[in-house]
Amino acid sequence: MTVPRTAVDLLDPRVHAEVDLRGVWRELRRREPVRWQPVDPARGAAVPGFWVVTRHADVTRALRDARTFSSEGGNMLATLLQGYDRGAGKMLVVTDGERHAALRRLLSGGFGPRQLGPVTESIARATRELLAEAVARSGAGESVDFVAEVAAQVPLRAICELLGVPAADRAQVLELTNAAMLGEESTAASVEARIAQSEIMRYYLRLAAERREAPGSDIISLLVTSTVDGRPLTEEETLLNCYNLIIGGDETARLSMAGGLLALAAHPGQWARLRADASLVEPAAEEILRWTTPVAHVGRTAAVDTELGDGTRIAAGDAVTLWCASANFDEEAFDDPDRFDVGRDPNRHVTFGFGPHFCLGAQLARVEIRAMLAELRARVASFEVTGPAPRLASNFVRGVSALPVAFRATSEP
């Protein structure tokens, strides 16, 4: 389904699930790269509208300049339109300036080589086990949902390990976190999802208390034993950053892995290239990240009067949305951007953001996607999508909620 840009309501989650927006983004980049979208007063928003920024150059410029384009009014439309984010100044992604730099230095300690080394091995092992089970079940004629059985499991196992969730608790935590994710992808979270969100927060509250008494080398121990600006993090700051890591550590890899398999199914020639050449695993992972762009937009608030694009004036206090889903297909930044190319190089995608807020877990997500591609090459001769792959109704995250597939195993074990 295609529609003219003037008829597109980017706030409507159904638009992102039902409409092919590539033509809309292309027209906006060409004719109105910085466009004002008013908000219907009936929505009860705290702001009258928001700027829609679609060109790669403008998106990267705004992401680079946190002084002019602040994250503290919220980093997504939902919070921008309500006029505040309760995590502002407390949670890494919605904090700027020296406080952001200090929080980032602290949390970076949980994603260093010493921490990621063992986790990388665990990711490879988990991917191998999960995909082997999925291929075996498919070979026995059973239905396999790649999202639920592989893509959702690998990143959550990895983040549990980084957060130091005890092995005995991981089955329960994985179940709760999977349920909680349902509420992150819908404008009206189910009762079950809200309960799961509360339960997971209570769990990490208990775990944080335990780590204060007996700290380890995990990220929660870092959060509860360190100081920022000369004082310990509050309980709220610890929980907000912990929950942000859980959500951020799950969504990009989960949605990219599922969307990547869907893209390979739709482009059998690219799958054949990847199967024939192991050196394409890394560029293929980057192309999947570009092609899927799991986070559609990044929200900012203009801190001062400024200009973007071809001289469009933006007033201090205006809400600004930077559409990575458009920037990653900008003809000025990518050669033939509507072509899925597992060997694409260079590939300057903005899937992980840009500048001071560049995603802290980018390397972890890359490891997870590469592990999935390596195991697919080793275990799968061919595959096909066997049923509907419904897209998420969300104006923030992009991807499919289910992906039924049938695998045909290679002759090698």
Q: What pLDDT, in 10s, does the model give residues 16-67?
A: 999 999 999 999 999 999 999 999 999 989 999 999 999 999 999 999 999 9
Per domain, the residue ranges of the chain are 1-95+294-327
SS3 198: helix
On the question of pLDDT at 272 being above 60, the answer is yes
Question: Rounded distance, CA 252 to CA 184, Å?
Answer: 13
> pLDDT of 320-333, one tens digit each?
999 999 999 999 99
The pLDDT tens digits of the residues spanning 118-172 come to 999 999 999 999 999 999 999 999 999 999 999 999 998 898 899 998 888 888 8
pTM value? 0.94
Cβ(130)–Cβ(268) below 8 Å: no
Cα–Cα distance for residue pair 71/227, rounded to 1 Å: 22
Give the C-alpha separation, 111 to 117, whole Å: 10
Residue 185 has pLDDT above 50, yes or no: no
Q: Which of 243, 223, 258, 252 has its CA nearest to residue 145?
A: 258
Number of Cβ atoms within 10 Å of the Cβ of 186 = 14
Tokens of 253: 């890899």
**Which band of pLDDT confidence, cut at 50, 70 and 90, is reported for residue 186?**
very low
Q: How far is CA 242 from the centre of its chain?
A: 16
pLDDT digits (tens, 9 = 90+) for 208-241: 999 999 999 899 999 999 999 899 999 999 999 9
pLDDT tens, residue by residue, 100-120 = 999 999 999 888 888 888 999
d(Cα 217, Cα 229) in Å, to the nearest integer? 21
Give residue-wise pLDDT tens across range 354-407.
999 999 999 999 999 999 999 999 999 999 999 999 999 989 999 999 999 999
Per-residue confidence (pLDDT) for residue 184, from 0 to 100 = 44
Termini Cα distance of the chain: 43
> How far apart are the C-alpha atoms of 80 and 49, rounded to whole Å?
10
Q: Is it true that domain 1-95+294-327 has CATH number 3.50.30.30?
A: no
Percent of the chain whose pLDDT exceeds 90: 78
**pLDDT tens sequence across 332-363:** 999 999 999 999 999 999 999 999 999 999 99
Q: For 151, which DSSP code?
A: I
Confidence of residue 1 (pLDDT cuts 50, 70, 90): very low
pLDDT over 70 at 7, yes or no? no
SS3 of 46, please? coil
Helix ranges, 65-190 (H) = 77-82, 97-108, 113-139, 146, 153-163, 170-184
